[in-house]
Structure 1
Amino acid sequence: MAKMIKKNYLLAPGPTPVPVDVLLEGAKDTIHHRTPQFKKIFEDAVNGTKEVFRTRNDLFILASSGTGAMEMAVANIVNPGEKLIVCSVGKFGERWVELAKTFGAEIVLVERDYGDFYTPEMVERALDENPDAVAVLTTLSETSTGTVMDIEGISKVVKKAGKLIAVDGISGLVAERLLTDDWGLDIVVSGSQKGFMLPPGLAFISFSKEAIEKSKNVSSTSFYFNLKKYLKDPIPWTPAVNLIYQQSLAVKMLLEEGMENVWARHELMGKATREAIKAMGLELFSKRPGNVLTSVKVPEGVDGGKIVSIMRDEYGVTIAGGQGSMKGNIFRIAHLGYMSDYDVIIALTSLEKVLRRLGFKVEYGTGARVAMEIFEKEGA
């Protein structure tokens, strides 16, 4: 039997694939970060990222993972003992909870099960019952389940109550429509290794004037993530110089494609994946699935861990398993960032091969056919 070579395909919700041109940009000579030359590159990266965020607010680039930006958000808007409304439907909503606890906030939890979602009405009820809350912490796309929230609707009720709203857009930004200024979002955070098509290592955070004003009355216990330092100097510490080169190019590529087109591309890949999964006789896990990834229930009698490990280790196709209480119960196929219709087809055909091997009956080409028909109909 002929032995096939194994190519690697990355369809995890972070890190995601990086275009070759962006990778090569990072191989350029490292220059000093206090030179006029680097200042120009840095400003281009910031201004381009603002356009992706759809904001004119102050925006900072951090040498950290996205969690660093989440920490910066909490550290600068809440004093110990002040109240935060924290919305959680998965692992990363739980991260907001952990951060709120770390900085001594009193927490009011708006919580639903993994795979479920919270609504503007739920948040409005929490605000009515807690008029002394200073802010609401939310998530655009819950990466652990692939569930997207109605951030525009939630922001309306938060702004009506006169409170701040912070949004974890680490996986959701770029793949999902998000209009920071038009929706009145006070803080938005994201990370480089998702829709921005970059290696891990950068985080991004924007602050509205209202959030900055609140920060002036917060005794932040964070040194590295103290907003007051960034307002004095947007590069208070040594930045990730070569990653900034890459950021500048990546946002240029996104803006040349056009954010409306970027959103539409992700929407189409998400739709094709979901419909293909259903055609294969599998069940979607999320009750409000988005365009970052598709979470799928592991069929009865199949080892969920083996689906992920065989696809990755033997066929070179990396998807993600479940997190937290969902480990072994779901798997997640990302369609995020530098991906196209053929990435989706590769994931689906590999999945069919593994499922057949593990005893689940599915005819070869079932999912791929449905996905290709959708792509063809949409002109992809």
Structure 2
Amino acid sequence: MQDKLTLMIPGPTPVPEKVLRALGKHPIGHRSKEFQSIVSHTSEQLKWLHQTNNEVLTITGSGTAAMEAGIINTLSRGAKVLCGDNGKFGERWVKVAKAFGLQVEVVKAEWGCPLDPEKFQTALNEDKNKEIQAVILTHSETSTGVINDLQTISKYVQTHGRAITIADCVTSLGACNVPMDEWGLDVVASGSQKGYMIPPGLSFIAMSERAWQAQQTSDLPKFYLDLEPYRKTAANNSNPFTPAVNLYFALEAALEMMQEEGLEAIFTRHARHRSATQAGIKAMGLTLFAKEGHGSPAITAVLPERIDSETIRKIVKQKFDILLAGGQDHLKGKIFRIGHLGFVSDRDVLTAISSIEASLQSLNLLTTPMGAGVAAAAKILQ
């Protein structure tokens, strides 16, 4: 059946009908009072979502734009940084930092395992001359389905005294608790096509006062991603460049839906979907890729031993019109990933689990009784 594709990937995520209707409205002038009213409203909504009193700036660009902005607006040439690397996106931040001439010390963990907070503490404690200026890491590592202990790592960074925390929260914000002010986070970056439930095209960055102080002395090259003009124009509910007007319409509608649901309910729903997905996968005889107890509430990575993951993805899409994500780099063909963040319901999770189970049965690769996966997931959801 045409036009029935269901996205169960870590982004883009499904978009609610209310948000699609808002997105389809006729554009308005981005310097008009009407648009300024929308900017004012969404600014307050974004502060609510980030649990912060700091300004949350909106950039027309992907989550990578927000992360790069966080790096280049707070650091200077030759600055020493610690960079967490336990997946594709941690690896990316190492590359970005090196591209701007930073001295990068990598805190590494095997893909599928979380970053060890104690390694960060050791490196920070050994920095007697306070040369480390930032700790850069990914909260929810999308490539492996692992959630890192951002709260503990941030606590160690605060103890250091000089360094700031720059966090990629692209697949964690809106899926789990990320209280920026409470955890003392300095830079939080995210993107619209994940927990925000709107199409790709906007990124968001919030900076603490410590981060803004660092911005005053940063000398890395920047123009479009120079956050000072964004901050100045935000004070007047505007933007230094032409923003994606219709995505703002969608953002306002999506954040209204999130506020109606409430933060605790959102976090509980994502945690429930993680538990149900994990239970269903294990009950059908498959292996979770993320280390036990460290799975992200946004995405579950599956290691189907002795089975080509791309074959499973292909059959699930062809027979059931459900799109699952594949593995990246050396994990291509070895794992598949089930996205369960944003506008995802209990029904979506059950449908995905049953489709994977039916696909394995059609390949004569199901090693457990048919229906065991769905029963295990349903038990969690009930």
So what's the TM-score if we normalise by structure 2? 0.95
- Could you say which residue in structure 2 is the equivalent of 1:297? 303
1:227: which partner in 2?
Answer: 227
Match of 1:106 in 2: 103
Q: Give a deviation string over 1:34-89, Cα, whole Å, max 9, x none.
A: 11110010111121011111111121011001010011011111111110110010
| Residue deviations 1:92-145 (CA, integer Å, cap 9, x gap) | 101111110111100010011110111221111121233311010111100001
Aligned-pair distance for 1:16?
A: 0.4
Check the 8 A contact 2:8/2:322 in 1, yes or no.
yes
- Tell me the residue number matched to 2:55: 58
Instruction: Please tell me whether the aligned partners of residues 77 and 220 of structure 2 are also in contact (alpha carbons under 8 angstroms).
Output: no
Identity of aligned residues (%): 40
Letter in 1 for 2:135: V
Shift of 1:375: 1.3
**Counterpart for residue 145 of structure 2:** 146
2:199 is equivalent to residue 199 of structure 1? yes
| 1:352 paired residue number | 357
Contact 1:146-1:286 within 8 A present in 2 as well? yes
Q: Pick from 373, 377, 380: which aligns with 1:367?
A: 373
Identify if the C-alpha distance between structure 1 residues 280 and 6 changes in structure 2 by more than 3 Å, giving closer, same or farther: farther
Q: Displacement of 1:315 after TM fit?
A: 2.1
1:168 and 2:168 are equivalent in the alignment: yes
Higher mean alpha-carbon deviation, 148-157 vs 355-364, is at 355-364
Q: Does 1:343 align with 2:348?
A: yes
Alpha carbons of structure 1 residues 243 and 374: separation in structure 2 relative to 1, 3 Å:
same
Partner of 1:258: 262
Segments of structure 2 that go 5 or more residues without pairing to the other structure are none
Aligned to 2:182, what secondary structure does the other structure show?
coil
SS of the aligned residue for 1:199 comes to: coil
Residue 80 of structure 2 corresponds to residue 80 of structure 1 = no
Aligned-pair distance for 1:23? 0.4
SS in 1 for 2:137: strand
8 A Cα contact 1:295 1:332, kept in partner:
yes
Q: Distance in 2 between matches of 1:193 and 1:312?
A: 21
Cα pair 1:6 1:315 within 8 Å, conserved:
no
The answer for the alignment partner of 1:274 in structure 2 is: 278
**Structure 2 CA distance, aligned partners of 1:199 and 1:243?**
8
Q: Could you give the per-residue CA deviations for residues 181-228 of structure 1, whole angstroms, max 9, x where no partner exists?
A: 000000000000001100111100001111011011011311100122
Q: Cα RMSD over matched residues?
A: 1.2
Q: Which amino acid aligns with 2:201?
A: G
Query: 1:338 offset after TM fit, Å?
Result: 0.3
Preserved CA contact (<8 Å) 1:78 1:103: no
Of residues 47, 53, 71, the one that matches 2:44 is: 47
- Report the counterpart of residue 120 of structure 1 in structure 2: 117
Contact in 1 for aligned 2:85/2:109 (Cα 8 Å): yes
Q: Secondary structure at the match of 2:295?
A: coil
Q: CA, structure 1 residues 98+5, in 2 after alignment: closer, same or farther (shift >3 Å)? A: closer
SS in 2 for 1:281: coil
* 2: CA distance, partners of 1:290 / 1:144: 11
Give the Cα–Cα distance (whole angstroms) in 1 for the partners of residues 282 and 3 of structure 2: 28
Describe how 1:306-325 pairs up with structure 2 within 5 A: 306-325=311-330
1:93 to 82, 90, 93: 90
**Counterpart residue identity of residue 266, structure 2:** V
Letter of the 2:15 partner, please give it: V
Write the distance in 1 (CA, Å) between the matches of 2:51 and 2:299: 22
CA distance in structure 2 between the partners assigned to 1:142 and 1:125 by the alignment:
22
Q: Which amino acid aligns with 1:126?
A: A
* Aligned-partner residue type, residue 358 of structure 2: K
How far did 1:5 drift? 7.2
Query: Is the 1:298–1:328 Cα contact (8 Å) retained in structure 2?
Result: no
Cα distance, 1:6 vs structure 2: 7.8
Which consecutive residues of structure 1, in runs of 5 or more, have no partner in the other structure? none
Aligned mates of 1:203, 1:77 — CA distance in 2? 18
* C-alpha separation in 1, matches of 2:149 and 2:186: 16
The answer as to 2:66 corresponding to 1:69 is yes
* Residue aligning to 2:157: 158
SS of equivalent to 1:43: helix
Letter of the 2:224 counterpart: Y
CA contact (8 A) 1:349 1:364 kept: no
SS in 1 for 2:93: helix
Report if the CA contact (8 A) 1:66-1:189 is conserved: yes
- 2: distance between equivalents of 1:363 and 1:7? 29
Secondary structure, in 3 states, of the residue corresponding to 1:182? helix
TM-superposed CA distance for 1:327, in Å, is 0.9
TM-score if structure 1 supplies the norm length?
0.95
1:35 aligns with 2:41: no
Contact 2:57 2:231 survives alignment (8 Å): no
Q: Where does residue 332 of structure 2 map in the other structure?
A: 327
Equivalent AA in structure 1 for residue 362 of structure 2: R
